[in-house]
Structure 1
Amino acid sequence: MAKLKVGIVFGGRSGEHEVSLMSAASVIKFIPREKYDPVLIGITKTGGWLTEGNPWETLRKETAEPGGPPPTALLAGLDVIFPVLHGPYGEDGTIQGLFEMCGVPYVGAGVLASSVGMDKVIMKQVFEASKLPIARYLVVWRHAWRREPAKTGDLIEERLGLPVFVKPANLGSSVGISKARTRKELTAALQLATQYDRKVVVEEYIPCREFECAVLGNDDPAASVIGEIVPHNEFYDYEAKYTDGVSDLIVPAAVPASVQSRVQELAVAAYKAIDCAGMARVDFFMHRESGQVIVNEINTIPGFTNLSMYPRLWEASGLSYPDLIDRLITLAQERFKERARNLV
């Protein structure tokens, strides 16, 4: 039986370019070579596409030339595409639209679910409409904050109090996120977040434990065991996520069966709420006093590094990293065949 050509796409224009390279390195290492022939496709920070030589090494050494336009002929010649792109222009539905135009099966969520999952404001609105428990939040627009910074700060303090978390609406890996305990820190946090996005989410602070749950599947998704994040930093920031030893990742989490069941139930509900497919990691807070489980966010292309929770959660659930990759590729093919049943 001939091997399937799997295009592994990595790099990209977002602030999570380096994270993408780390994730891609693991996928390249663990993809079952007896079944799949990986084709490496790198995207530079300026949006150029690299297909010659070793694109991963080229991007790692930061010696990439501008690169060319998307090689649509190459994409159309692949059996499956495995995008390992985090953040804008990779996880937000833009590149998924290109794959759809090329008519190639691809791993992960479709255009709509990707864009909804990327935008924290729209995501929260969908969760609210689906009656999922979420934290209180406000949306701050860059133009409004720059025009009336004092009024914006007053509104945040009035509605949410301090401290709060300030996040760009369309970014991941904790890039641009700050915890603001004072008005001065709030101003600095808004200044940082608005450098990354015109839309910013400000969330109430919740004294909590943090859990993550991996979801896998198309029409009948399944949830993994849950894991707990115990950051050594003040919160689970970029350094805590991607530097070994800066956080404790407890898999499986030491919680009662009722808590695990509740998290798993909400993880699948959040997955279905945005019409996700393939994979996602859903993040949660559990209030330390009330015990309420709150949905934080969903990530449609979760990290795949050796430190990442998504593959670790599935390994703890009985699915090895190579088998996880194999399952994701199969799900991509199944969804592609299902869509082919549509009349248009």
Structure 2
Amino acid sequence: MTKKINVGVVFGGKSTEYEVSLQSAKNILETLDSETYQVHLFAFSNEGQLLNLKDSTTLLTEEIQPNESLSGVSLSHLIDTKVALDQQEIDVFFPILHGNLGEDGSLQGFFRMLNKPFVGSSVLSSALCMDKDFSKQIFNYNEFKTAKSLTVRLEDNREALVEKVVATLGFPVFIKPANQGSSIGVSRAKDPISFEVGIAEGFKFDNKLIIEEEIVGKEVECAVLGNEKPIASGLGSIATDNSKFYTYEEKYLDESGAILEIPAKISDSLTKEIQKQALAAYQLMECKGLARVDFFLTADNQIYLNEINTLPGFTNISMYPQLWKNAGLAYSELIETLLTLAIEEFQREEKLQRKVNLE
């Protein structure tokens, strides 16, 4: 009898995207073939505690409310946590923690400490892609076209900020927390009053904000899959009924709140160019396993690179799995492919390290 592959699905987390993570984990759990995989669940509470296996399982199967009578192990007990994870004999981890502490390199560093394979990008790649300020600097340096922007930190003097925005960007602008995903804390400001409100809202979620010019056009997304030789999916585009941007609720909670156009109604030549840029950005940031690369496409066919999401959502209405489904790769096959890629990348790195040690 073939030994089952032990998969550690890690979800939850001290993030504003906690509920999204739970839904993604449920979908993955329901999909993995029990004949091939033995799944072990590891949930982090919304306060940052690592829950035991029983409570992690209960959190998904019984859908109890977050933080309701859950016994956890404080993250400060790192050694105890490491032992607990190793005892499960995990072959590969599948992290599905969105946002802070899940896709910013923190958890990836933890897996490196455990010397275990994991789905997704490295510590550095995850951290850089998560930070909209640093990633934009890298994109601009490498001549990708991006929206003009300003960066403002909590400690900065903001007395002349409105005048600076008017002079360099003009209204309307978008205000984005630099290290949040899923449109958390994002607002559109059309004048100085709404700008001040947006700044205050943004600083509730991050100490650094990106203020971007408004790009009028389609939001276009491309799913990328692979390690050294990644492939790009077809494109999807997003239309929303009631807002000027794709909100958290429309992404994950309201199936009628946004219209996903898959495939996007974009010419073949533009599709190929966006796919080419998506692959180039993915490889520039040294992403591994998976990422969703987001663009804006204007009416005069100008392509603006927006951001790279290294751990995109895996809910039933998430763009990443939907794009691959449209390409003929079913959800279950996609999950299995990602687990295989994680193990292959781990083995490649181990081989390279052995070679360095021998030399």
TM-score when scaled to structure 1? 0.96
Residue 197 to residue 320, structure 1, CA distance change in 2 (3 Å) = same
Q: In the alignment, does 2:9 pair up with 1:44?
A: no
For this pair of structures, how many residues does the alignment match?
A: 340
Q: In the alignment, does 2:84 pair up with 1:79?
A: no
Residue 327 to residue 258, structure 1, CA distance change in 2 (3 Å) = same
Match of 1:213 in 2: 222
Q: In the alignment, does 2:329 pair up with 1:319?
A: yes
Q: In the alignment, does 2:280 pair up with 1:279?
A: no
Match of 1:236 in 2: 246
Match of 1:174 in 2: 183
Cα pair 1:40 1:54 within 8 Å, conserved: no
Deviation at 1:315, TM superposition (A): 0.6
Deviation at 1:198, TM superposition (A): 1.0
Q: In the alignment, does 2:28 pair up with 1:23?
A: no
Letter in 2 for 1:260: T
Structure 2 matches for 1:325-344, cutoff 5 A? 325-341=335-351, 342=353, 343=356
Show CA shifts across 1:306-331 (max 9, x none).
01000000011111000000000000
Structure 2 gap segments, 5+ residues each = none
Match of 1:265 in 2: 276
Question: Once superposed, what is the RMSD of the aligned Cα atoms?
Answer: 1.3
Show CA shifts across 1:42-94 (max 9, x none).
00011111123241543742214351045212433200000000111110000
Q: Specify the SS of the correspondent of 1:122.
A: helix
Match of 2:162 in 1: 153
Q: Specify the SS of the correspondent of 2:53.
A: coil
Match of 1:107 in 2: 119
Letter in 2 for 1:25: K
Show CA shifts across 1:216-271 (max 9, x none).
00000100010010111311011111111000001111111011101111111110
Q: Specify the SS of the correspondent of 1:149.
A: coil
Letter in 1 for 2:48: G
User: Structure 1 stretch 2-11 or stretch 74-83: which is displaced more?
Assistant: 74-83
Deviation at 1:129, TM superposition (A): 2.0
Output the CA distance in 2 between the equivalents of 1:302 and 1:7. 18
Match of 1:129 in 2: 141
Output the CA distance in 2 between the equivalents of 1:37 and 1:310. 25
1:164 to 149, 160, 173: 173
Output the CA distance in 2 between the equivalents of 1:65 and 1:73. 20
Deviation at 1:194, TM superposition (A): 0.9
Letter in 1 for 2:327: S
Output the CA distance in 1 between the equivalents of 2:338 and 2:21. 18
Output the CA distance in 2 between the equivalents of 1:64 and 1:211. 42
Output the CA distance in 1 between the equivalents of 2:70 and 2:58. 13
Match of 1:2 in 2: 3
Show CA shifts across 1:11-55 (max 9, x none).
000111111111111111112222111101100011111123241
Residue 55 to residue 123, structure 1, CA distance change in 2 (3 Å) = same
Output the CA distance in 1 between the equivalents of 2:262 and 2:85. 37
Q: Specify the SS of the correspondent of 1:150.
A: coil
Runs of 4+ that moved beyond 6 A:
none
Letter in 1 for 2:129: G
Match of 1:292 in 2: 302
Q: In the alignment, does 2:70 pair up with 1:65?
A: yes
Cα pair 1:233 1:240 within 8 Å, conserved: no
Deviation at 1:181, TM superposition (A): 0.6
Identity over aligned pairs, percent: 41
Q: Specify the SS of the correspondent of 2:72.
A: coil
